[in-house]
Amino acid sequence: MTSSVTSDSSPHPDSGEPEATADHGPGQPLPPADADPAFDPGARFRRFFNDPRWALAMIRATVLEAAHPQIGAALIDSSTFVAHPWRRLQNTLLSMQRMFGADDQVRQREAARLNRMHARLSGTDARDQPYDAMDPEVRAWVVATMYESAVTMYRLSGQPLDQSTMEGLYAEFQAFLAVLGDQAGHLPPTLQEFWPYYDRVVEEELENTEALRIILYKLFDHLPAPAVLEGLPTVWAAGRALAGPVVGAVTVASLPESFRRRAGLPELPGARTLTQSAYLAIGLTRFLPDDWIQAEAVAGLLTLSPDSDDPRARTITAVRDGIKRAGALIRLITPLPAEPAPADTAGSRRGAEEFFHTVLDQTGDGYLDWPDLAAMARELSGRLDLDEPEETRLYNAFADWWKELQTALDSDGDGRVSAEEYAAAVPTLAGPALIRVADVLFDATDTDGNQSIDADEYRALFRTGFRRDLADTGDTYSRSAFVKDFLTFMSGRRRSTIYDPLLAQA
């Protein structure tokens, strides 16, 4: 059987060729294939989290997902992956850790949350074709891309998995899908049947979708700086200019050859060699100390706000200051263009256009509509780990706010609000529906119901220590103070050291 999973048209991993069992870390071989695949501590999938190669594999899997018409349409309509990619990365890692952790109660709770979230993602695309994130076949394809990309990750790294290891890994992905409620599977029951299924979807269903093109040709070129580098635009732009094209080329070269031809994706000279070299080079980093490559720690560092009370923030701030001083010295010696002026400090006024694009337009499509406010509700619900019915109350409050905004701001009646329409009617934002959003959010944060937010409740929402300058005296945050601060921020009047990391940072 000829494979369509790699650029070199090598045989499928189940073709019977002898293959080695890959080590997944220094002195840590994968567990035997007859181990319990249902989320035990030695599960193969759990080890992927801290393998640096998994980052390339997940980008590849995301591209294959985006090429599916239904998934691509959902990404375009509702996802924040363009405007807030780092936040989405952190949330995805957190969700996967919950799903593959040892606590079954946490796993079931997360599965229920994912199902509620996906149930809200449905509609029609630009061609009036329906999409539904709860479609079992669509959900199966998402899991299939993750599994196949994991297998490809090892092979491109020169460590192809043996048959028994692949079968055990496949059982774990099937178990993951079953936890979501898709017991019937919609994935083939055996690995031997999986490869024909995978080839058929690639050949017959995948398309060169808008979401795929954005990921390959826009996201890497215009990737916003993570929070930790927001004050260093020149440093970030230089690094992105070097790394972005390489990541894009590596991703394209690793896609199924038949799909690349059909979608008209470019094949750069030497891309196959570059791809294998990238996987090999990144794979070497797995021999670094474990605490250097922990996925959760790396993601947390990238999304770390300079204003955070995390001890690492002080170190990062010191490094940033040193880089800025070095940059200033270089500009004195060489006639380089000046860096853009830094953003206004917290508490200063924010322009209407800036607020529209950094806070309101969560999906990054240039307009404000319901998916943007739904993304806010989704982020807040995830931060607070809300269950029913609190999650639904928050979504409904945001839905009512959207109706109020649409009535007040949508002057041309196209069902969405442009930046120009917003700027012309800024004072109307803080209406009764937005006040209701603030009240519902306060109730969700105030878990003990004592009508004040304490330090622990504060950290659950803002992921930072208690801000005495914004809160009431006595280490509490009253409803009135909370609602006032929320309205001030959400009406675009002023910046906020606590709400900017929550809804504005990438």
Residue 296 falls inside a structural domain: no
Mean pLDDT to the nearest integer, 390-417: 93
> What does the DSSP assignment read for 101-124?
SS-HHHHHHHHHHHHHHHHT-EEE
Amino acid (1-letter code) at residue 387: D
Going by pLDDT thresholds of 50, 70 and 90, the confidence category of residue 471 is low
Q: Are 269 and 135 contained in the same domain?
A: yes
Domain final position from 316, 342, 368: 342
Q: What is the rounded CA–CA span in Å between residue 443 and residue 445?
A: 5
pTM: 0.79
Domain count for the chain: 3
- Helix or strand run (H / E) with residue 418: strand 417-418
Domain holding 263, by residue range, is 44-283
Q: Which residue has the tokens 């196949």?
A: 148
Burial of 327 (0-12, 13-18, 19+ CB in 10 A): middle
Residue 77 has pLDDT above 60, yes or no: yes
Mean pLDDT in the chain?
Answer: 80
List, for residues 228-277, the tens digit of each pLDDT value. Answer: 777 777 778 888 888 888 888 899 999 999 999 999 998 778 888 888 88
Q: Is the peptide bond prior to 389 cis by the omega test (within 30 degrees of 0)?
A: yes
Contacts of residue 62, defined as CB under 8 A and 6 or more positions apart, other chains included, come to 145, 215
> What does the DSSP assignment read for 199-250?
HHHHHHT----HHHHHIIIIIHHHPPPPGGGTT-HHHHHHHHHHHHHHHHHH
Q: What pLDDT shows up at residue 8?
A: 40
Q: Are 327 and 368 contained in the same domain?
A: no
Q: Are 261 and 174 contained in the same domain?
A: yes
List, for residues 305-320, the tens digit of each pLDDT value. Answer: 666 666 666 666 666 5
Long-range contacts (CB closer than 8 Å, 24 or more residues apart) made by 102-110? 102/39, 102/40, 102/41, 104/39, 107/39, 107/179, 108/179, 109/385, 109/387
Residue 30 has pLDDT above 70, yes or no: no
Residue 111 falls inside a structural domain: yes
Going by pLDDT thresholds of 50, 70 and 90, the confidence category of residue 293 is low
DSSP label at residue 128: S
Mean pLDDT to the nearest integer, 2-8: 37
Q: Are 238 and 363 contained in the same domain?
A: no
Residue 292 falls inside a structural domain: no
Contacts of residue 128, defined as CB under 8 A and 6 or more positions apart, other chains included, come to none
Q: Are 270 and 233 contained in the same domain?
A: yes
Q: Are 269 and 318 contained in the same domain?
A: no
Residue 273 falls inside a structural domain: yes
Residue 165 falls inside a structural domain: yes
Going by pLDDT thresholds of 50, 70 and 90, the confidence category of residue 20 is very low
Contacts of residue 469, defined as CB under 8 A and 6 or more positions apart, other chains included, come to none
- What 3-state DSSP class applies to 169? helix
Residue 397 falls inside a structural domain: yes
Q: Are 199 and 318 contained in the same domain?
A: no
Q: What pLDDT shows up at residue 143?
A: 94
Mean pLDDT to the nearest integer, 80-102: 84
Residue 375 has pLDDT above 80, yes or no: yes
Residue 209 has pLDDT above 80, yes or no: yes
- Is the Cβ–Cβ distance between 444 and 386 less than 8 Å? yes
Residue 200 has pLDDT above 90, yes or no: yes
- Is the Cβ–Cβ distance between 373 and 399 less than 8 Å? yes
- Is the Cβ–Cβ distance between 158 and 82 less than 8 Å? no
